[in-house]
């Protein structure tokens, strides 16, 4: 039983060992493998034609694969360069559009004339200030004319009162003179 276990262990380990040995992967490993497995003939090495052809095919396949890979990567790089250039142009266009939109946002159209917001605000506040000054001037003129009108009305009322007193006095004097005249007429007739 111990021998059976030992024998099965040895068989399994050799099986795993043979499965663990891998084919050489890189070209250098394949060339080294070919060199090691070739037959020595003096200072020369004799390589079997089949192995040489197999190695040649693998090298050519690898070269073709790398050429395709380089071409694909070159195409990818040129595509990405074109994309970068297009994106750069797009960014420039977007920046220009953003600047234009900002300038348009900061401008106000008034009677067909374009004003910057600050200029427009100065213009509007100037007009408001001018209107306030004009309003104050007209209020001052109104108060002044109201005062003059009120004084004229007062003077007229005083003048009418004075005139009415003068008329009363004149009427009284006239009546007095008429009486005196009538008295003189009556004296002259009666004498």
154 occurs within a structural domain? yes
Per-residue pLDDT, 7: 53
The whole-number average pLDDT for the span 168-184 is 92
96 occurs within a structural domain? no
Taking only the tens place, the pLDDT of each residue in 97-144 is: 998 888 888 887 777 778 788 888 898 899 999 999 999 999 999 999
d(CA 101, CA 93): 12
43 occurs within a structural domain? no
> What is the number of structural domains in the chain?
1
d(CA 156, CA 151): 8
Taking only the tens place, the pLDDT of each residue in 25-78 is: 777 888 888 788 888 878 887 888 888 888 889 889 888 999 999 999 999 999
pLDDT > 60? residue 10: no
39 occurs within a structural domain? no
The residues facing 39 across adjacent strands are: 46
Sequence-ordered strand ranges (E) for the chain? 39-41, 44-46, 107-110, 113-116
| Radius of gyration of the CA atoms of the chain, in A | 64
112: region left, alpha or beta (phi > 0 left; psi from -120 to 50 alpha): left
53 occurs within a structural domain? no
> Which residues, other chains included, contact 24 with Cβ-Cβ below 8 Å and sequence gap of 6+?
30, 32, 33
3-state secondary structure of 41: strand
d(CA 153, CA 160): 10
Range of the domain at 120: 110-191
134 occurs within a structural domain? yes
41 occurs within a structural domain? no
d(CA 8, CA 11): 5
- Name the one residue in this structure whose structure tokens are 């266009």: 93
**DSSP for 52-99, written as a single string:** HHHHHHHHHHHHHHHHHHHHHHHHHHHHHHHHHHHHHHHHHHHHHHHH
3-state secondary structure of 44: strand
177 occurs within a structural domain? yes
């Amino acid at each position: 039983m111990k021998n059976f276990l030992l024998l099965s262990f040895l068989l399994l380990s050799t099986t795993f060992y043979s499965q663990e040995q891998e084919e050489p992967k890189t070209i250098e490993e394949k060339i080294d493998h070919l060199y090691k497995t070739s037959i020595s003939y003096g200072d020369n090495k004799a390589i079997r034609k089949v192995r040489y052809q197999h190695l040649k095919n693998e090298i050519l396949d690898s070269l073709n694969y790398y050429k395709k890979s380089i071409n694909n990567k070159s195409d990818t790089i040129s595509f990405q360069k074109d994309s970068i250039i297009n994106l750069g142009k797009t960014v420039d266009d977007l920046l220009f559009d953003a600047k234009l939109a900002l300038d348009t946002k900061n401008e106000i159209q008034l009677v067909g004339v374009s004003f910057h917001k600050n200029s427009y605000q100065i213009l509007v506040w100037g007009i408001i200030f001018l209107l306030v000054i004009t309003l104050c001037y007209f209020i001052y003129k109104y108060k002044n004319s109201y005062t003059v009108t009120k004084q004229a009305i007062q003077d007229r009322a005083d003048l009418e009162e004075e005139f009415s007193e003068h008329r009363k006095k004149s009427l009284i004097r006239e009546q007095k003179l008429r009486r005196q005249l009538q008295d003189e007429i009556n004296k002259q007739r009666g004498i």
